[in-house]
Structure formats: C-alpha cells, structure tokens
Amino acid sequence: MSNFIQSSIGKKFIMSITGLFLILFLLVHLAVNSMIVFDSSGELFNNAAHFMTTNPIIKIVEPILAAGLIIHLWWASMITLQNQIKRDNNNIGFKRYKIRKNNSTSKWVSRNMYILGTLIIVFLVIHLANFFWKMKFTGDPLLAHDSNGVENAYALVTSAFISWKWIVALYVVGAIALGLHLYHGVWSAFQTLGWSNKKWRRIFNGFGIFVSIILGGGFAFIPLFVMIKSMI
C-alpha cells in the first residue's frame, strides 16, 4: 500500500479524496451561512451555529476535517515541489522555454492551482482568526449568550462586515479564489479517481462549474449582502 501512496497517481488519489471531502464541508458551511440572508433577526443562524459547535457528530468530524485539510495542503506542496524539480530548465535559468504559448491549449486556472490554494489558505487563516477563534477560545463581547446559552454569532459576523469594508473585500477575493480553485479542482478530482470517460467528462466539467459558482458565488454574496443591506 505504501508503494501506491508514493506513486504519482497515488498522491493525486489522496488529493482527490481529501478535496472532495473538503467540498462536502464547504456545502454544509454555506448552507449554515445562508441563514444570515434568510433571517434578519439572526435567530436561525445563531441556532444553526450553536448546533454546529455542540453537536457530537460535528465534534467527531471536526478533527477529521482538519486532518483532511492538512493532508490536502501537505500533499499539494510535495507534488508541486517534485513537479518543479522534474521539469527541466536546461541551461536557461528558471524559465523552461524561451517562449511558451499555452493560453489556447489549457486554462490559466488549471496551471495555477497551487497559487490559488495559497490564496485560499491566507484567507482561511484570517477567517479563522475573525470568527472561529473568537467563538471557540477567546470570546467576544458581541457573542453575549441568550437565556438558552446560544451565542450571538450573528452579531459578531454582521458587525465585522458592516464596520470594515476591507474585510468584505477580503472575503470576496477569498470566495473568488475558492471558486476558481474548484472550477478546475472538481472535475480534476473525478478524472484522477478514474471515473471520467467520453460522456462523463462533460458531466463532471459541468458539475465542476456548477459547484464553483454555487460555493464561490455563495460565499462572496453573503458579506456583500450584509454590507449593502446596512447601507440602504
């Protein structure tokens, strides 16, 4: 089995499995976040957030999720580094070819998954510091509990988006990076798992675009919605 994981396809297999698992998490995350849009009192979102932090199933899944993310990052770094070493820069420094024209033959997104992934990680660290860290560890005056012990996560989230425009901009950029990453990532995962063929290639391509629009667009929409609503 160790041979399998060390092989080029085995490494990509791990990337696909962890990637698809992270997408499942993102879909749940977006579903919870969408309550911000549907209920302006914030009660729905607070209850959902409370459920997500206290539910025993989520408590089990949380470390698995963290492990999935770390494996996805670690393997991506190893694969990217190894691939950089394997391509030749035959006597001409860092540039492999004097001229290379591949804009018509492949998409920019597909060639720069690692750069997009790095952008997402930078965003993720700021995002966790903004909300997750405060809710889980340090606490925040805005999070004041109600009579049922439910924290006011809605206040924390909306006040951040209303008070600081740069946070909204950062979240939109993060969401776009995520959308672009998934635009190639989703179909690529299915291709690597070997599920693609003439017919299913088109279906996976379409599904990938659909998922990237839903997640990228959805996560960009929520901070914009909160900000614009406060301005009108």
From the list 100, 141, 148, 231, which residue makes contact with another protein (rule: CB under 8 A)?
Answer: 100
Q: Is 93 in the site for another protein (CB under 8 A)?
A: no
The span from the CA of 23 to the CA of 21, in Å, is 5
Binding flag, residue 13, another protein (CB under 8 A): yes
Structure tokens at 218: 């959805």
CB nearer to another protein: pick between 8 and 230: 8
Q: Which residues of 22-49 are buried (b: 16+ CB within 10 A; e: fewer)?
A: bbeebeeebeebbbbeeeeebebbbbbb
Question: Which of 20, 29, 196, 225 touches another protein (CB under 8 A)?
Answer: 196
Nearer to another protein, 185 or 218 (CB): 185
CA-based R_g, the chain, Å: 20
| Nearest alpha-carbon partner for 23 in 146, 137, 133, 185 | 185
Nearest to another protein of 98, 231 (CB atom): 98
Half-sphere exposure of 52 (CA within 13 A, CB side): 19
Among 41, 91, 147, 148, binds another protein (CB under 8 A): 91
Residue type, 231: M
Q: Does 181 contact another protein by CB under 8 A? A: no
* Footprint of another protein (CB under 8 A): 1, 3-4, 7-13, 79, 82-83, 85-91, 96-102, 104-107, 110-111, 113, 184, 187-188, 191-198, 201
